[in-house]
Structure formats: C-alpha cells, structure tokens
Amino acid sequence: MTESWADAARRIGHYFDDHLSRHGQAPAALDYGSWASQQARFEVIASALNVAGKRVLDVGCGLAHLQAFLAGRFGAFSYTGVDLSAGMVEAARRRQPSLDVRLLDILADDPGGPYDLVVANGIFYLLGDDAPGRMQRLVSRLYHLSAKAVAFTSLSTWVDSMAPGEFHADPAATLAFCRTLTPRVVLRHDYLPHDFAVFLYRP
C-alpha cells in the first residue's frame, strides 16, 4: 500500500523526535554529518537571500539554527519556523523562547503570512513513496507562500554513491520543474559534493 502524505509527515516527525532524544542537540540530531556541512548550506542560502527587515518562513526549521545564523549575518528580521517534529519545535522554543516556532505541515496547514522569503534546508530526503512528486508539491507550496523568493537545498543524484533509503533529486529535473513556476531561477552545485541549492525569484 502506498504511504499517504499524512503518514509520511508523521514518520518524518517521529524520525527527528527519535534523533533528538538519542543525540540531544548534536549535529546527528538533525542528521548532519557535522556542523561544517550545516554551515556550508547556511552560507549558500545567505549568499542568495538578504533577510534584513524581511518576513522569513523557515520550513523544516529543526532547532532554528538558521535564524541565529542569518540574524548574525544580516541583523533583525521577522522569523517563523515550522517543523513536523514536536520534539524539535519544543527544543527550539526552549533555546529561543522569543521565536515564533510551530508544529505545522505546510501541505496540510496554513502557516499564515504573507512571507517575503521562504527557506527549506534539506527537507526532501525522507519523502519516501513518490518522492519526486512530493518534492514538486512542496516546492510549489514554498513558492506560493513567498512574496519575493524561495531558497531550498537537496541531496543530489550527481554523486558517486547514495545512502539507501534517502531520496536524491536530479538537479536538472528539479531546475526544469522550478522554471514552470518562475523563469528567474538559480542552481548552485558547488558548495558540497552531494548537495545542491535552488533559488526561485518572483518576476
């Protein structure tokens, strides 16, 4: 039987709940190999989006580390983080009680807004059944929630090996899909060997 999106969302949330309970706030809780790989993704996002004074939605926010990184780089901005993991949301709220962090599925729920910029860092690799189609639905939703631009990162098929059970997206196919949403797109595949980023800008 094909897994429904509601079941997939619960599975992903429980996956990160379990990682957080086992690893605390170490990189492994977020499924990063190291803080350096997280930093590399944050750097490439910051290179394309100046968040100063903007309204930002962080989808799959985890512990909201991206907010702290961007605030250190750009200064004040309005931040909302959403995640499928109740544990991550609770831990993010404990880390920074003033932040707006919510347990929310953007394909099922309304995150409010409007948002100038929407960011999704590494949210696609556990999508399971019909991962390419689910990725397209998520990217479409990210774009429609944004007033100005979207940035997302993903594991790439342009690698020598892929971990079993993890979805790697084809960068060329992803870019072609994004061009159906807007002609103003940028692909970056130069910051980590197994990763790529795409930026979509509204005309």
Residue 174 token pair: 């992803």
| Residue 26 reports pLDDT greater than 80 | no
CA within 13 Å, CB half, 41: 23
The CA radius of gyration of the chain, in Å to the nearest whole number, is 16
- Entry field: residues in the chain: 203
Average pLDDT value for residue range 63-76 = 97
Comparing CA positions, the residue from 16, 13, 41, 44 lying closest to residue 28 is 16
- pLDDT at position 21: 92
Burial annotation 150-167 (CB, 10 A radius, 16+ → b, else e): bbbbbbbbeeeeeeeeeb
Q: For 5-201, which CATH superfamily applies?
A: Vaccinia Virus protein VP39 (3.40.50.150)
Q: Give the start-to-end residue ranges of the domains of the chain.
A: 5-201
Average pLDDT value for residue range 80-94 = 97
- pLDDT at position 140: 98
